[in-house]
Copies of this chain bind each other. A is one copy, B any other.
Amino acid sequence: VGLRVVLAVGEGDDIAPSLAERAPGMDIVRVREGDSLPDALAEADALVCNRLEPADTRAARRLRLVQATSAGADRVDPAALPPGCALCNAYEHEDAIAEWVLMAVLALTHHLLVYDRGLREGNWSRGLPLERELRRRTIGTLGFGHIGRRVVELARPFGMDAVAVTRSPTPERARAGGLRWLGSLEERDRLFAEADVAVVCVPLTDETHDAVGAAQLGALGADGYLVNVARGAVVQEQPLYEALRDRRIAGAALDVWWKYPETRGAAAAPSAYPFHELDNVVMTPHVSGRSEGTRRGRTAFVVAQLVRLAEGRPLENVLAVGS
């Protein structure tokens, strides 16, 4: 099948053996820490990676596919795509992330972190305010793709009502998704006003950058919860911190952040603001999509995509094409 496939640092462990088994003719090049990615790409047909800069592809003569191994491919610079080269992403994380969202909402409304921490010190205090159950509350998703749809599927059996906004709303999508209404991104203020729980699950784009700020948090209100599983930069950092600190919203569950460690494994605060001091926040280090199912599903998708490329069939999940 002759294709040369480059697997960037960290991307090979599952894909290499699976690809070797499924498409034995492919020439698989695994890039290790310290190797030159530009050199490896010179004669490559496809690259599997999660970040890419223009300098990386300066010598890439025949690259036709940059396959990201996650859904948010915002660390792959489209300017790095040689002419005609496709950038594709991979999903398969919707079960894991939707589970995380329901977990986080319930952990907030049931005061899990406060009660667990207290009882570990022998404190039986049950003085926290009684919460309503999820029944008859409204969940609103900012974004209604793979994740938003699955979140709504899981939330409705709890008795929740659902609304959403998305780039391309249609009555059919609203009906199929079991929504009370589905609006455009411009209608997000209405979403935050109606939602008791607002879930951010849109891709980060120019249009969604800073899309959640003081106005939206004000509309969410003192009984409202915010969940972010998209990208930190969709939400404005300082207004969110202040709304939480001053209890102008009830709580937030954050898996994505404004600051990430420079090097893997280094210690680093995830924000310029001390979210870690707040007890109405659930915080995790960008793990909501991590699961066996996500890993297995993505490996299978990437391998099938490379086989499609080798066989000249149309690619799936094309986000952009280099020009």
Using a CB–CB distance below 8 Å, which chain A residues touch chain B? Answer: 95-96, 99-100, 102-104, 106-107, 109-113, 115-116, 118-126, 130-135, 153-154, 156-159, 260-261, 265-270, 276, 282-288, 290-293, 295
Query: B95, A284: Cβ atoms under 8 Å?
Result: no
Separation of A119 and B295 alpha carbons in the complex (Å): 23
Separation of A270 and B115 alpha carbons in the complex (Å): 13
Q: Which residue of B lies closest to A116 (CB)?
A: B283
Query: A265, B112: Cβ atoms under 8 Å?
Result: no
Q: A267-B123, A295-B130 are in contact. Are A103 and B100 (CB under 8 A)?
A: no
Contact of A110 among B100, B113, B260, B283 (CB under 8 A): B100
A260 partner residues in chain B, CB cutoff 8 A:
124
Query: B131, A282: Cβ atoms under 8 Å?
Result: no
**Nearest CB of B to A54, in Å:** 28
9 A-B pairs with least C-beta separation: A103-B106, A120-B276, A115-B284, A122-B267, A124-B285, A95-B133, A133-B293, A157-B157, A132-B292
A154 partner residues in chain B, CB cutoff 8 A:
157-158
A287 partner residues in chain B, CB cutoff 8 A:
110-111, 115, 126
Give 29 A-B contacts (CB < 8 Å), ordered by A residue: A95-B133, A95-B159, A96-B133, A99-B158, A102-B106, A103-B106, A103-B112, A104-B112, A106-B106, A107-B107, A112-B284, A115-B284, A116-B283, A116-B284, A119-B284, A122-B267, A122-B270, A124-B265, A124-B267, A126-B290, A130-B290, A131-B291, A132-B291, A132-B292, A132-B293, A133-B291, A133-B293, A153-B157, A154-B158
A269 partner residues in chain B, CB cutoff 8 A:
122
Query: A270, B130: Cβ atoms under 8 Å?
Result: no
Q: A95-B133, A121-B267, A133-B95 are in contact. Are A110 and B115 (CB under 8 A)?
A: no
A286 partner residues in chain B, CB cutoff 8 A:
124, 126
Separation of A268 and B112 alpha carbons in the complex (Å): 19
How many monomers of this protein are in the complex? Answer: 2
**Nearest CB of B to A11, in Å:** 16
Separation of A154 and B159 alpha carbons in the complex (Å): 10
Separation of A288 and B107 alpha carbons in the complex (Å): 11
Separation of A287 and B116 alpha carbons in the complex (Å): 11
**Nearest CB of B to A252, in Å:** 12
**Nearest CB of B to A275, in Å:** 8
Query: A266, B124: Cβ atoms under 8 Å?
Result: yes
A284 partner residues in chain B, CB cutoff 8 A:
110, 112, 115-116, 119
A288 partner residues in chain B, CB cutoff 8 A:
110
Separation of A93 and B278 alpha carbons in the complex (Å): 29
Separation of A158 and B287 alpha carbons in the complex (Å): 19
Query: A135, B95: Cβ atoms under 8 Å?
Result: yes
Query: B153, A122: Cβ atoms under 8 Å?
Result: no
A124 partner residues in chain B, CB cutoff 8 A:
260-261, 265-268, 270, 285-286
Separation of A159 and B157 alpha carbons in the complex (Å): 13
Separation of A122 and B275 alpha carbons in the complex (Å): 11
Query: A282, B106: Cβ atoms under 8 Å?
Result: no
4 new A-B pairs (CB below 8 Å) besides A115-B284, A124-B286, A132-B293?
A102-B103, A110-B284, A133-B292, A154-B157
